[in-house]
Chains A and B, each alone.
Chain A
Amino acid sequence: MAHRNDTPQRMDPVSTLLALTVTGLVTGCIYALTASGLVVTYTTSGIFNFAHGAVGMLAAFGYWQLLEKGMPTLPAFLLTVLVLAPLLGIVIERVLIRRLGNATLEVTLTVTMGLLLLLLAIANTVWDATTPRVLQPFFVGKQVTVATVVLTYHQLLIIAAAITVPLALWAFLRMTRTGIAMRAVVDDRELAALAGASPTRIGQLGWGIGSSLAAVAGILLAAQVELNATTLTLLVINGYAAAVVGRLTSLPLTITGGLVLGVLQSLALGYVTISWLNQVQVIIPMLILFVALLIAPPTRLRVGQLAPLVAPRVPSSRRSLGSTGAFLVLAAGIVAIIPSGQLGNVTHGAAVAIILLSLVPMVGYGGMVSLCQLTFAGIGAVAMAKVGGGPLGLVAAVLAPAAVGALLALPTLRLRGLYLSLATLAFGYAMDNAFFQNASVMTNNLGLPVPRPLGLDNDRGYLLFVVAVFAACAFGVLAMRRSTLGRRLVALGDSPAGCATLGMGIHVTKLVVFALSAGLAGLGGALLGGQQSVVGQSDFALLLSLTLLLMAVVWGVRTISGVFIAALAFELIPQLNGHLGPVGDSVLSLLVGLGAVGLGRSQNGIVGAVLSSPGLRRLPSLPHPRSHSDDVSREEVLTGAQG
């Protein structure tokens, strides 16, 4: 991270070390603040807020706007942190989070990621991203020198905030009635409600406090680095690592994690000079996140966590064969009449459809939310570029990412749910910075040339080939779903505890689906590269990976037609940009964000909702089912005993 107050140059080694450590501690304090907010919202609602950084970013822009309007610093700061940000948190809880009570992980993650994209799009629409803005630090120009280290008042304020905020939180949670009620809700939501606490109000309060902490961190961070929406939103991802060190529940461990992270980053920035490691300070948070996930004790299999679910029907082998044939005939007809100028876009869309298809077994069937699918796609493209466009290149484009997927799966086999998703996020983020931005991989800034496979130079022929590959892969995915592996995968997603009590070892299933999904994404990535001729680092960016996942989940990640339409929408929506003026650039993010936040209502996505046969819900019910055991009183039991 490039700070404005960079490391002092030409100092003696001890002073340099001291200066780097202090700078790191200051950054660490911001991470600690951010992560504390994440922990508060997670423990009070059980939902990991991916948009936490975006809330902080929006608050920083709001604060900047108030200053621009002439409001003095302190009132503007207090208004933002104590009124506007908590209000935003409360609105988010009221409109989005409350509806997610029984939602699956893919839905809760998608909703908050959608919120991230939505807030980012709003910020980019209101505050043009190309205009540089500076948020002045507090007490500009004032500083003190401690030993040989110069500390600005702004940095001292950060340290003070990092000390007082957790202490205030600690006192609030232990010494006030509301705070104790909050802890009770965290321990047992239902029991706390029986004791008179209102989990709903507590949840609102948690989101209010969390947003307020995000605002403090966002404003302090913006004055340290730059007032840029994307930078601020993604920088706060570093707070995830600190929060995971605290296992999303412990504030002291979270703060320690934040401080260690800040110092390590600062030291790396100061001391690591090897060129190929020049991104190491960016990767450190993700390494810490990864290591923290791996060394954390395994989470216990929990029972009674099932959410009611109506999954779309799986077509029979005969039906899917017929559908594939019909699709190919229709596609061939359409390919023949597509205007030449549009061939590129459509081919791009078909390749994206293959990448999205790779999410179906992993996310749609297995409930394992991968946040790094484009990373695998990128590896496929690079493999094809390095090996060449022959059949061997195609094989490499599948096997290389499949091997990387299996390697990623090995250390993460014991992880489930959110932790598994965060591990894939850490991997994607690290690869983004260390692999795709590495000159020796991508050749140079002009990008890496990727050949078309099998010498398919004719655009129309190539499109037909990509569409045929999609159809074949889709047929394969459905066949897999009908197989034992598919049943194991779905069962694993539905009830890990149920699987374990049937004697099912989950490791092989997870390993296979990771490799299969990564290989499929790699194939899509290679075909995408072939269409573009050249791939660059931005083609596989983490934010784009999240956007694609959101598109898939919004349209229906459990169905082939859902991901196919998602890919079409992904290609078509940007075509609208030219007609929408200044809003155009953000329209994809806005629509995806809105779609994702609307998921609370239809968790199978748009296509899933349409395909769910009403017949499934009209089951012949048993006559006069008796009351559930939970309602049986001691008296009833004994009456029965005496009878």
Chain B
Amino acid sequence: MLKVEEVSVRFGGVQAVAGMSLEAPPGRVTGLIGPNGAGKTTLFNVITGLQKPNTGRVLLGDRDLTKASTAKRARAGVGRTFQRLEVFGSLTVYDNVLLAAELAHVKNPSAAAHQLLERVGLGGFAAQQAGVLPTGMARLLELARALAGNPSVLLLDEPGSGLTEAECKALGDLLLSLTADGTAVLLVEHDMELVMRVCQHVYVLDFGQLLAEGSPAEVSANPAVQIAYLGAEEVSA
């Protein structure tokens, strides 16, 4: 179980995240939504060690990861994808996933890489150079790469962005199959159709603070959430 306790991040005069806590238990897709600039990616960066929090803790099970390096957290089982892509552009699609499998000491990394590429629908693009992939495919590649590490917690930062509707549906199926395997998925996504379909629990962030939490239906019916997204005038109209 991933636990984030009272995490705060301040950039100069801007409070990016203020006392945020959340839990992502195994076998559940946990949604993390909010308008642009709400602090979702910053929170992902804190969880993966790319951003040092001013206060708060990050726990994986009983293990306190707050001071661990990014690589150490990854080896502990925290995998992620990025909103702004971080594929290895000079490597082929296959080599991206192969490297991740090798780093995770998977028994047959080559077979695992091919299998994962098939699973995310990139089997036909293994020999392509990753740097020239369209955004949507690069996101799927990042997902395959993250999965190659066999993470117990998977952080996905807008994986549906750039995908067609059919692919988005396939992505949803994939996420649900992951939770069936016991993986904890923390999903940042603007596509609410996807969020509504796959998430069992959703946290809503606004200006770095927790605005609401609950089931997708509860959250979308919450007046505070509606005001945060549309503004008070539109909601009353």
User: Do residues A619 and B128 form an inter-chain contact, with CB atoms below 8 A?
Assistant: yes
Known A501-B70, A504-B71, A623-B164: A629·B83 in contact at CB below 8 Å: yes
* A622 contacts B137, C-beta separation under 8 Å: yes
* Given A494-B90, A616-B132, A640-B193, also A502-B100 (CB < 8 A): yes
Tell me the minimal C-beta distance from A494 to chain B in angstroms: 4
When chains A and B are docked, how far (Å) is the Cα of A636 from the Cα of B35? 10
Chain A residues within an 8 Å CB radius of B226? 638
Known contacts A635-B229, A641-B196; 18 additional CB pairs below 8 A are A303-B84, A303-B86, A304-B86, A487-B95, A490-B91, A500-B49, A500-B74, A504-B71, A505-B71, A616-B129, A626-B161, A628-B161, A629-B190, A634-B36, A634-B228, A637-B192, A638-B192, A641-B195
CB atoms of B167 and A622 under 8 A apart: yes
Q: A484-B99, A487-B102, A619-B133 are in contact. Are A502 and B128 (CB under 8 A)?
A: no
A499 to B90, CA, bound (A): 13
> Interface extent on B, as a size class?
35 or more
B158: nearest chain-A partner, CB-CB: A629
Tell whether, in the assembled complex, residue A632 and residue B229 are in contact, meaning their CB atoms are under 8 Å apart: no
B131-174 contact mask (Cβ, 8 Å, vs A): 1 or 0: 11111110000000110010000000010011110010000000
CA distance A636 to B164 in the complex (A): 17
Verify if B180 is at the interface (C-beta below 8 Å from A).
Answer: no
| Distance of A635 Cα from B226 Cα, bound (Å) | 10
Question: Is B207 interfacial (CB 8 A cutoff)?
Answer: no
Q: Is A452 an interface residue (CB 8 A)?
A: no
CB of B115 closer than 8 Å to a CB of A: no
Q: Which among A223-231, A307-315, A319-327, A453-461 touches the partner chain?
A: A307-315
Q: Are A490 and B70 in contact (CB under 8 A)?
A: no
CB A367 to nearest CB in B, in angstroms, measures 9
Interface residues in A481-529 by Cβ distance below 8 A to B read 484, 487-488, 490-491, 493-495, 497-506
Would you call B90 and A493 a contact (CB within 8 A)? yes
Q: Which of B179-210 contact A (CB under 8 A)?
A: 190-193, 195-196
B75 contacts A by Cβ under 8 Å: yes
Count the A-B residue pairs with Cβ separation under 8 angstroms: how many? 181
Q: Contacts of B80 on A, CB cut-off 8 Å? A: 501
Inter-subunit contact B164/A500 (CB<8 Å) = no
In angstroms, Cα B135 to Cα A450, docked, is 55
Q: Taking the complex as formed, is B111 at the interface, i.e. its CB lies under 8 A from any CB of chain A?
A: no
Beyond A637-B229, A641-B220, whether A498 also contacts B88 by CB under 8 A is yes
Q: Is the CB of B50 closer than 8 A to any CB of chain A?
A: yes
Report if B237 contacts A (CB, 8 A): no
In the complex, chain B residues whose CB is within 8 Å of the CB of A494: 87-91, 131
CB closest residue in chain A, given B163: A626
Q: Using Cβ atoms and an 8 Å threshold, which residues of chain B touch A616? A: 128-129, 132
Query: With the chains together, A634 CA to B34 CA distance in Å?
Result: 9
Q: Are A635 and B134 in contact (CB under 8 A)?
A: no
A487 contact set on B, CB distance < 8 A: 88, 91, 95, 98-99, 102
Contact (A501, B90) CB under 8 Å given A619-B133, A622-B134, A629-B190: no
B45 on interface, CB distance cutoff 8 Å: yes
Residues of B within 8 A of A635 (CB): 229-230
Q: Least Cβ distance of B202 to chain A in Å?
A: 10
- Nearest A residue (CB) for B234: A635
> A594 to chain B: closest CB distance in Å?
27
CB distance A625 to B162 under 8 Å?
Answer: yes
- Nearest CB on B from A222, distance (A): 42
On chain A, the residues within 8 Å of B196 by CB distance are 641
Interface contact B164-A502, CB-CB below 8 Å: no
Query: Which residues of chain A (77-99) have a CB below 8 Å from chain B?
Result: none
How far in angstroms is the closest Cβ of chain A from B40?
10
Quick one: closest B residue to A638, CB to CB?
Answer: B229
Sampled A-B contacts (20; CB under 8 Å): A300-B51, A308-B132, A310-B129, A491-B99, A494-B89, A495-B87, A500-B69, A502-B71, A616-B129, A616-B132, A617-B132, A626-B161, A628-B161, A628-B162, A629-B158, A632-B36, A634-B35, A634-B228, A637-B190, A640-B193
Judge whether A625 and B35 touch: CB under 8 Å. no
Q: Does A177 contact B (CB under 8 A)?
A: no
Q: How far is the CB of B150 from chain A (nearest CB, A)?
A: 11
Q: How far is the CA of A626 from the CA of B167 in the complex (A)?
A: 11
Chain A interface residue count: which class?
35 or more
A90 to nearest B CB, angstroms?
31
Closest to B124 in A: A620
Say yes or no for A301: interface residue by CB 8 A criterion: yes
Tell whether, in the assembled complex, residue A622 and residue B74 are in contact, meaning their CB atoms are under 8 Å apart: no
Task: Considering the complex, give the chain B residue whose CB is closest to the CB of A622.
Answer: B136
Q: Which residues of A contact B191 (CB under 8 A)?
A: 640
Cα A626 to Cα B132 in complex, Å, equals 17
Query: Are B89 and A308 touching (Cβ within 8 A)?
Result: yes
User: What sequence of 0s and 1s flags, for each residue 93-120 of chain B, a beta carbon within 8 Å of any chain A beta carbon?
Assistant: 0011011101110000000000000000
Kindly list chain A residues whose C-beta atoms are within 8 Å of the C-beta of B103.
502-504
Q: Does A630 contact B (CB under 8 A)?
A: yes
Question: B85 near A: Cβ within 8 Å?
Answer: yes
**B70/A301 in contact, CB under 8 A:** yes
Cβ–Cβ contact B79 & A311, under 8 A: no
In Å, the complex CA distance between A638 and B90 comes to 38
Question: Known contacts A310-B132, A490-B90, A638-B226: does B190 contact A632 (CB below 8 Å)?
Answer: yes
Residue of B nearest to A312 (CB): B90
Q: How near does chain B come to A488, taking the closest CB pair, in angstroms?
A: 7
A498 to chain B, nearest CB (A): 4
Whether B33 sits at the interface, judged by CB under 8 Å, is yes
Whether the pair B87, A501 counts as a contact (CB closer than 8 A) is no
B204 CB, min distance to chain A CBs, angstroms = 10
* A340 on the B face (CB < 8 A): no
In this complex, the member of B86, B104, B137, B163 whose beta carbon has the largest number of chain A beta carbons within 10 angstroms is B86
Shortest beta-carbon contacts, A-B, top 8: A304-B84, A640-B192, A503-B74, A311-B90, A500-B70, A498-B86, A641-B192, A629-B161
Contact A311 B129 (CB under 8 A): yes
Known: A498-B87, A623-B164, A643-B192. A308 touches B134 (CB 8 A): no
